[in-house]
Amino acid sequence: MDRVALRGLKARGHHGVFPKEREEGQTFIVDLVLGLDTRPAAADDDLAKTVHYGIVAEEVVDVVQGEPVDLIETLAERIAQQCLSHDGVQEVEVVVHKPDAPITVPFDDVTITITRSRR
């Protein structure tokens, strides 16, 4: 299986369990690895035979900016399902970063990584 990766997609969302997170929002960063067979697209040099990563990026940003959820696990699942809605995408790895999570000790980042497939 071939891989198309998008790294560092940034969007502001209002996800979290605390009222301040819901009210003020924060930046979320998303990394994606889409698994698909790119041979048909490469053979014909045809965008219609692969995944349009620009559209995927816009859809992911829409999910992050969309309906708030409590958990980044739920957000990651929604993103994965959106990616799998594209016919050619057989598998997706989603990493959601929450670098401004409300943690009281010094830290660099909080992430969730999930892998979902059509299987």
Exposed e or buried b per residue across 10-45, where buried means at least 16 C-beta atoms within 10 angstroms of its C-beta? ebebbbbeeeebeeebbebbbbbbbbbebeebeeee
By the 8 A CB rule, do 73 and 107 touch? Answer: no
Q: Which amino acids are annotated catalytic?
A: 98
